[in-house]
Amino acid sequence: MGQKLKIAGWVSVGALAGALTTVSLQTVARGAMTPLPLEEIQQLSAVFGIVKTDYVEQVDDKKLITDAISGMVASLDPHSQYFDKKSFKEFREGTSGRFVGVGIEITQEDGLIKIVSPIEGSPADRAGLKTNDLITKIDETAVKGLSLNDAVKRMRGEPNTKVTLTILRKDESRSFPVTITREEIKTQSVKGKLIEPGYGWIRLSQFQERTVDDFVRKVEEIYKQDPQLKGLVLDLRNDPGGLLDAAVAISSAFLPQGVTVVSTNGQLQESKATFKADPEFYARRGQGDPLQRLPAALKKVPLVVLVNEGSASASEIVAGALQDHHRATIMGSQTFGKGSVQTVRPLGPDTGLKLTTARYYTPSGKSIQAKGIVPDVMVDETADGDMYAALRMREADLEKHLSSGQGEEVKDEAREKAREEARKRLEEEAKKPASERRLPEFGSDKDFQLRQALNQLQGKSVKVSKTLTERPAETKEE
């Protein structure tokens, strides 16, 4: 395996619907370093001393140094990050698809936390929590005003500890407390079903350690229900990315063996790599090839890949590989544009550094960074159009974002105008009942984009977007 064993599938899942997700490439330690700038180091030491002696109150030495490191790394780009003990633990939990908590998927609504769905078999599921329940308090803390991340942190904790959630169930016009014992939760990143005879749908919500195995099982289930599958929709909408080896494996499931899936390029020799549709690039040590159980027909089945502005990082690797090899029709809207590689370097037993070390490229050599994947067929998210797509954050909107590195980039002058129009529409929609303004669930019979994907597979007419166009790449202000 040699160099291939240096590849690790670390991932960092950030806010903004997963838009800050990163694919990582672990490398060996660097060689010789350039000499330290002594004058600047002395200045840093002087500032440290002045803060210690002159600040209005005493400041902990460790906090000052940690904050200085964090600031130095965060100033580079949106995806580089210093991990203290707590954040490093949370980061590693995100890559495994396992965490300790109550087991609910949540969103925010009117300042409260809304349960999208309890995870099957979780403590929340056993406690009887339901979809659309609202959480108003976590223990003694009112949820109103808390960010989604803060609410998640309060519900997570150590195994076998208790948390009390105050639930508002609107359809029963009652509010009640539920005390739940936290335990390890295993998240499900793969869903799928036969939409109609001969046509399947598989959705990946994230690329985690168990995603490939779960994907294989779901494909087996669908082929068991219908061995004569005529077409498949791979749904990567709002998938923020995840593990690099998982992205290579999912691509390899549909591609001929040995073709290029993705390549990376950066300063370090170890960051100049090419990943191919071959087990040595995705199979984990001692576990064999997880794709061997897949039906041979999967390599040839007609395929549509659905993407949108929330499809980032590993999702873009898969979509880019399948598009460049003409293996699938990519449908939806232009993706997020997260095309940089982060290396995670442990700095000790419980701290680490996540640093941007390379850009990644599709098989044809295109950089996705700050641009994304442009679908073959642009399709709106509803029959009425993409009403709020302009409000979604993209890589090119992030402060200090890395440019594509391929030619001169121009700023999209029309974007702010489109955002203002979308804001006005959103304000009008917000006045309607929640049931009327919520977009249809992915995979439901009201999923407009999925219906268009099926039309594409069946040779029927597809309602192509009349408003979506390829975005000009943007660049940060220098």
Task: Out of 77, 235, 324, 386, pick the active-site residue.
Answer: 324
Burial label for 180, CB within 10 Å (0-12, 13-18, 19+), is buried
How far is the C-alpha of 10 from the C-alpha of 317, rounded, in Å? Answer: 15
Local structure of 95: helix, strand or coil: helix
Q: Write the CA distances from 302 to 230, 234, 278, 328, integer angstroms.
A: 7, 11, 21, 7
- Residue 384: phi, psi to the nearest 5? -90, 0
Annotated active-site residue in 80, 313, 404, 465: 313
CA dihedral 79, 84, 86, 90 (to 10 degrees): 30
Read off φ and ψ for residue 344, nearest 5 degrees: -105, 115
Catalytic residue status for 338: yes
- Give the span between the Cα atoms of 337 and 328, in whole angstroms: 19
One DSSP character per residue, 399-458 reads: TTPPP-SSS-----TTHHHHHHHHHHHHHHHTTS-HHHHSPPPTTSTT-HHHHHHHHHHT
Place of tokens 């000009």: 472
Residue 358 backbone dihedrals phi, psi, to 5 degrees: -165, 165
Task: For residue 45, give every residue at least 6 positions away whose Cβ sits within 8 Å of its Cβ, in sequence order, or none.
Answer: none
| Residue 313 a catalytic site member | yes
Q: Which residue has the tokens 């495994």?
A: 96
- The beta-carbon contacts of 277-280 under 8 Å, at least 24 apart in sequence, are 277/248, 277/251, 277/252, 278/252, 280/1, 280/4
Residue 405, number of CB atoms within 10 A of its CB:
14
Please pick, among 114, 276, 338, 354, the residue that the annotation labels catalytic: 338
**Backbone φ and ψ of 459, nearest 5°:** 75, 20
Q: Residues with catalytic annotation? A: 313, 324, 338
